[in-house]
Amino acid sequence: MFAIELKHVFKTFTVPAGKWFIFTKWKKKTILKNISFNIKRGEFIGLLGPNGSGKTTTTKIISGILKADKGHIRVLGYDPHKKEKDFLRRIGVMFGNRTNLIFDIPLIESLKLMKDIYNLSDEFFNERLNYLTDLLDMKHLIDFPVRKMSFGQRMKSELLVTFLHKPELVILDEPTIGLDPVIKEN
């Protein structure tokens, strides 16, 4: 079984085509056209392409945020658009332009919320937290409110929360924005 299967996937959006008097004209724009690929368990892949080529749309379809217009999509054996709880517990998703954190409280409180959402034991939570804060050099930031962190520190915090529950599949969209070279390497 593949971790990710996409077969003949299409996605079209309605976008502004210009203005006519006071009304906006609209047109259909196909973002994904007959995309097919398989990814085996344990593989690391990267989607490369210019802005507007469909990379983020593809990751949103794989994670269940968007539904494809046509095609076959299976992720870890699930239809991601159905957003079944078991599927959502098995994936970790990070978008560089979205946050999983609550800005006005210390980072540790957002992490404790994720602990409860994913029903993690105290032992597992503490072990993962220690491992990830060491890896990302974040022990000194754990009690800081997210809003007081630099952009790079917030991005490291996003990585931490994404990997906290030890997901089987991790989907990262522009995960290294704002990170220094050492942390990117880690």
pLDDT digits (tens, 9 = 90+) for 123-174: 999 999 999 999 999 999 999 999 999 888 888 899 999 999 999 999 988 7
Percentage of residues in the chain having pLDDT higher than 90: 67
**Domain segments of the chain as ranges:** 1-83, 97-186
Q: For residue 139, what pLDDT is reported?
A: 93
- The secondary structure of the chain, three-state, reads CCCEEEEEEEEEEEEEEEEECCEEEEEEEEEEEEEEEEECCCCCCCCCCCCCCCHHHHHHHHHCCCCCCEEEEEECCECHHHCCHHHHHHEEEEECCCCCCCCCCEHHHHHHHHHHHCCCCHHHHHHHHHHHHHHCCCHHHCCCEHHHCCHHHHHHHHHHHHHCCCCCEEEEECCCCCCCHHHHHC
Instruction: Bin 102: left if φ > 0, else alpha if -120 < ψ < 50, else beta.
Output: beta
Q: For residue 18, what pLDDT is reported?
A: 74
Q: For residue 98, what pLDDT is reported?
A: 77
Was domain 97-186 assigned CATH 3.40.50.300?
Answer: yes
Q: Which residue has the higher pLDDT, 87 or 95?
A: 87
Percentage of residues in the chain having pLDDT higher than 70: 95
Was domain 1-83 assigned CATH 3.40.50.300?
Answer: yes
Q: For residue 25, what pLDDT is reported?
A: 80
Indicate if the pLDDT at residue 176 is higher than 80.
Answer: no
Q: For residue 21, what pLDDT is reported?
A: 66
Domain 1-83 matches domain 97-186 at the CATH topology level: yes
Neighbour count for residue 49 (Cβ, 10 Å): 9
Confidence of residue 186 (pLDDT cuts 50, 70, 90): low
